[in-house]
Amino acid sequence: MSRTTEVEVIDLDESGWLLDAGTDEPVPEHRLRDYFTERLAPPAWATDILVYVHGWQTSPGSAHRTAERLLALVHDNLKADPTRYPALSAEGFNPWCVVVRWPSSSPVTPSGYRRIRDRAHAMGARDGNGYAAHILGRLLGYLDTERADPAAAPVLANHEGQYLHLVGHSFGCRLLCEAVQWAADARLDDTLGWSAEGRSPSRPFTADSMLLFQMAARRDAFLSLFPCILPSEVHDGAPLRGPVVATYSRHDRATGFWHLRAERQPGIGHSGIGPAPAPMFTTRLLSLDERYPLFALDHRFVNVDASDIYVRGRRLSPAGAHSDHVRPESAHLLLSLADYSR
């Protein structure tokens, strides 16, 4: 099997607009589809497409390396014991990842944290001059159109299907959620691609899972900021086919102490999703020798307590374990979601 690289990248500026990798200039609106086609055509060998959006204090090089490390852990887990993921071992699992990079660096101080929080909000806000939701929504619409349709193949024999998984960290989770909500409100003439036959015709894409590592947002964000991710009387279809899964750890000081000072309540990355528009299920981040039962992940919202695993921080870092998500146990959770997506 001939492969290209497993990881591709795109870059956004401070407004959330897409930058041309060759010139570092904004890509004109009318060239978005051509640009995606030239750089981001899903390879035929890929069984699963991952879109990863990094978080706070991450350089472009670090974002790329983080995605590579996470994929390496995924391969290591699958190789060590394929029986943990029976659907994946039966079909094969060959992920291809698109890393979305954005300017997230600031001093490691409370004021620096607030600066990037405000930037992430401005980039994704649909009622201002931010374009990240628009660009990411169009990217996801393009990938959904170009990927082979999982529904076209028999269940547990998806040799011609490609699944789409959304993975975010920290403030990158907010940008992903803004993109999904943008899709819920998108007009038919404001997207690049539309759902395949058998899915909601009013959505520009569907995703098979959303995994949010240490999300930097208020605990009530899925009521106050992202109420349209799930179907409702107003929005009759859901861009997300699978669950919203969020990890949290009491050792995450960035979304604990700092977030408490900034927004008068701890963040999701410290205490989990709070009030939400659908029932919540809470479980713990499992070790590699424990298999997630279907009932633990088969919910619209799942909180995953990682307090026993995400404990490390950089030496003297006031952010605590905020970036301790690149772990074998995280890859185990990602693989389990991909397995149950079949």
- 254-276, pLDDT tens digit by residue? 887 766 666 777 889 999 999 99
pLDDT at 194 over 60: no
The DSSP secondary-structure symbol of 152 reads: G
- Does this model's pTM top 0.75? My answer is yes
Residue with the two structure tokens 């990094």: 54
Predicted local confidence at residue 100, as pLDDT: 95
Please give the average per-residue pLDDT across 70-84, as a whole number.
Answer: 94
Distance, CA of 280 to CA of 137 (rounded, Å): 26
Please give the average per-residue pLDDT across 219-245, as a whole number.
Answer: 74
Distance, CA of 287 to CA of 290 (rounded, Å): 6
The DSSP secondary-structure symbol of 46 reads: -
CA distances from 301 to 81, 270, 298, 324 (A): 28, 16, 9, 22
Q: 49: part of which helix (H) or strand (E)? A: strand 48-53
Q: What dihedral angle (degrees, nearest 10) is formed by the CA atoms of 64, 68, 73, 75?
A: 150
Tokens of 16: 């959330």
CA distances from 177 to 172, 183, 245 (A): 9, 10, 12
Instruction: Tell which residue, 266, 54, 305, 325, has the closest CA to residue 169.
Output: 54
Q: 210: part of which helix (H) or strand (E)? A: strand 209-213
pLDDT at 293 over 70: yes
